[in-house]
């Protein structure tokens, strides 16, 4: 009996301590505050929705270093031809900093330069791309800035070159870099390049195997990209992304104290995001919504317009929660989940009564057809009878004429 009691007590201890250990582990991975990060500026967003999940001085204007190449890369992919042959200039050949050791006069495809740019952070590749697409580095920078405003909607960025080497007028913010990365990651070619870990490189002056500089690809579960950077003035910058299930997150840290600290920043933000949030689809393209009315009201057709979603809609919600939705009279779909909220614009659907009115008018125009048909038939029949009667009268007259003797005048 004593042995049985000892076994029961031991089992009780095991079962009572297991949940406590599990909660402690979850709490430890879910805590994040700005003072825990080394970077002077940082941000975490949902890659699908753009929802901001964490931020630290996100609008501080700082030097980006080589994360500039995220913008250069997506511009080259969207505005250039991957099969274009680029001739490397002397300026590109002697560009300082990290390179893929292009030779002056070497002819390289634009696609190969994009890999050297994003995987190995080649400053020479960046300059070669800029001169090919913009005639000069300066002209390319102007085109790049205009492109980012048009396509991404940034407001706090100004680039003067394609690589991110220091220039007092070359700056951005963590918030803008998150938007640029979110836009770039929608492109399948860009995603493929930044997710490539190793690539053989056969150049005139350098034959090697490129190893992606982004350590997240090897050290973080579900990592999908993107790019790191460093200059003395910018210190360490890093934009990282990872996907688990249907949720993909993008984290940015700028002016971190060291390379290791920049990776710790991004890892901490990604861990925090996956521990707290998930991306859920809230509507599919073509789905209809009708504005709800308060209880006790008598709804009318005018008070209940119908709206549709032009595309699939997603929302970021706290892990394990179901979002609440509301449709306004103006066609705004409001999604709320905990402290998060997001508004989508819906398209008004054609009212059923409009179609009904059109169907009422249609029979009048259609029914007039048979009436005119009867009239034309009656007129045609009468015309036939008149023509037939006249023809018979003429025939009888000719027959009577033939019966008159030819010497009738002599008889007279």
**Distance of alpha carbon 42 from the chain centroid:** 23
In this structure, is the dihedral angle defined by the CA atoms of residues 92, 71, 261 and 215, taken in order, positive or negative?
A: negative
Catalytic residue among 38, 41, 66, 241: 66
Work out the number of other CB atoms within 10 angstroms of the CB of residue 143. 16
d(CA 242, CA 220): 8
Catalytic residue among 89, 121, 241, 262: 121
Catalytic residue among 56, 69, 215, 280: 69
Which residue in 255, 256, 227 sits closest to 239, CA to CA?
227
Q: Is position 121 annotated as part of the catalytic site?
A: yes
Helix (H, G, I), strand (E, B) or coil at 352: helix
Q: Is position 367 annotated as part of the catalytic site?
A: no
Which are the contacts of 400, defined by CB distance < 8 A and separation ≥ 6?
none
Q: Is position 66 annotated as part of the catalytic site?
A: yes
Helices 137-151/68-79 angle, 10° precision: 90
**Rounded to whole angstroms, what are the CA distances from 374 to 367, 377, 385, 388?**
12, 5, 17, 21
Which are the contacts of 258, defined by CB distance < 8 A and separation ≥ 6?
38, 236
Q: Which residues are catalytic?
A: 66, 69, 121
């Amino acid at each position: 009996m004593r042995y049985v009691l000892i076994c029961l007590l031991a089992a009780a201890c095991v079962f009572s301590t297991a949940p406590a250990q599990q909660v402690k582990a979850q709490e430890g991975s879910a805590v994040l505050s700005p003072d825990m990060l080394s970077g002077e500026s940082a941000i975490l967003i949902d890659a699908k929705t753009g929802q901001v999940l964490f931020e630290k001085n996100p609008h501080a204007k700082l030097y980006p270093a080589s994360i500039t190449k995220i913008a250069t890369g997506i511009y080259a992919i969207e505005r250039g031809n991957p099969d274009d042959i680029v001739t490397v200039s002397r300026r590109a050949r002697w560009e300082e900093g990290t390179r893929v050791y292009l030779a002056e006069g070497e002819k390289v495809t634009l696609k190969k330069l994009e890999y050297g740019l994003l995987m190995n952070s080649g400053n020479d590749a960046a300059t070669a791309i800029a001169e090919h697409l913009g005639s000069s580095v300066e002209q390319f920078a102007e085109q790049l800035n205009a492109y980012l405003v048009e396509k991404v909607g940034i407001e706090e960025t100004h680039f003067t070159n394609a690589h991110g080497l220091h220039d007092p007028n070359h700056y951005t913010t963590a918030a803008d870099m998150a938007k640029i990365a979110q836009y770039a990651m929608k492109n399948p070619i860009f995603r493929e390049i930044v997710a490539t870990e190793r690539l053989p490189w056969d150049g005139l002056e350098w034959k090697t195997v490129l190893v992606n500089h982004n350590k997240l690809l090897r050290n973080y579960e579900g990592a999908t990209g993107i790019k790191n950077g460093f200059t003395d003035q910018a210190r360490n910058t890093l934009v990282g992304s990872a996907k688990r299930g249907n949720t993909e997150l993008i984290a940015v840290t700028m002016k971190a104290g060291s390379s290791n600290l920049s990776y710790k920043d991004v890892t901490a933000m990604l861990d925090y995001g996956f521990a707290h949030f998930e991306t859920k689809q809230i509507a599919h393209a073509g789905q209809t919504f009708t504005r709800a009315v308060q209880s006790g009201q008598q709804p009318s057709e005018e008070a209940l317009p119908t709206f549709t979603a032009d595309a699939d809609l997603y929302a970021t919600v706290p892990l394990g929660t179901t979002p609440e939705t509301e449709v306004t009279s103006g066609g705004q779909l409001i999604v709320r989940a905990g402290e998060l909220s997001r508004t989508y614009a819906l398209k008004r659907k054609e009212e059923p009564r409009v179609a009904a009115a059109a169907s009422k008018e249609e029979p009048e125009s259609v029914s007039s057809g048979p009436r005119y048909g009867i009239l034309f038939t009656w007129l045609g029949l009468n015309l036939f009878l008149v023509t037939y009667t006249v023809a018979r009268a003429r025939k009888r007259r000719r027959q009577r004429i033939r019966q008159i003797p030819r010497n009738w005048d002599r008889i007279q």
